[in-house]
Chain A
Amino acid sequence: MFPEILEFGRKGFADELLRGAAITLLIAVSSFIIGLVLGHIGAIAKLYGGPVSRGIAAIYTTVIRAVPELVLILLLFFAGTRGISALGEAVGYGPIDINGVLAAILVLAFVQGAYSTEVIRGAIQAIPVGQLEAARAFGMSPLQVFRRIVLPAMLPNAIPGLANLWMVVIKDTALVSVTGATFELFTATKIAAGFTKRYFLFYFISACIYLAMTLVSNFFIQKLERRLRRGQQELG
């Protein structure tokens, strides 16, 4: 049915590709979540922070969005490890080993954080000021205002932008293959293609796997958005 090279097990590359896809998802999910946390911190710093935190957030989003991810990955993986290891030793953790997966997650999360800062900031600013004033008038603490008003009102606005970022981070994981040390989907594809010399076949298969990841996540994002927008009037 299938040519031997597409079988599972010792003779085929199906299991290698699947393992690569799993690592791709691990990198994408982890960096997206960490990026979301950084994005919230960044957005709050930009909107409510004092001059210092505003400045730091501005530098962060400007610099990170300006430097190509590829450069950041190479910088962290081949040059940054010593700095992080020294930092680890300084706080008594011993040397920290930055493997390919961890370097990928750190870099992509850092990049995602910068972009989601802007998405979340925009979504928060789209909330009518009156709603926040009303919440404050009821005596809610800033944290309560954030949890009860800002978060639920901002999320529907943020979802389309964040969904974009999720698509981008899935594809950005392929950049990590430049280090050759991380067995994500694109590295697995290159190994399979290089070993069998069937370049078109394996690049096509991996394109299909990336497409499948996108289609499946689109389905869930749509469901999530519909739930978050419940009670809202539909346009038209």
Chain B
Amino acid sequence: MRPETLESTKRAVNYTPYHPRWYRPRVSVYWWLGEWHYLKFILRELSSVFVAVTVIETLMLIRALRSGPDAYARFLECMRNPWVVLLNVVSLFFVLFHTITWFNLAPSAMPVRMAGKRVPDALVAAPSYVAWLVISVFVAWLVLR
């Protein structure tokens, strides 16, 4: 938006001063606590922090693997700490929540049209779930074989 347009917008939405008796409700800092839908949204936003934690841990794991058996053993020892286990359990919950909610939101951000008709949302989300399953099975096979 151009600066002059922004200024005119600000002027347009500033409530006019000659109606001082309008009651303007204030939004509470805790607006997200009252309703499950809002709370779910905030949890979804918060989940990004735990996604970052998971990514950092994975990078640390790879670095430990590269540095040799001693470093890997030290990394595993660190991971056995009850606080780290707790953090990982919470992270797992949030990463799953993050993944599922974003997969489900994808169809409304990217509607697919085929033969002039919109493809049902479930069909648009399905490939993400299938890819998730296939990659998970492959990683499980890689680790457990």
- State yes or no: do A and B come from one complex: no
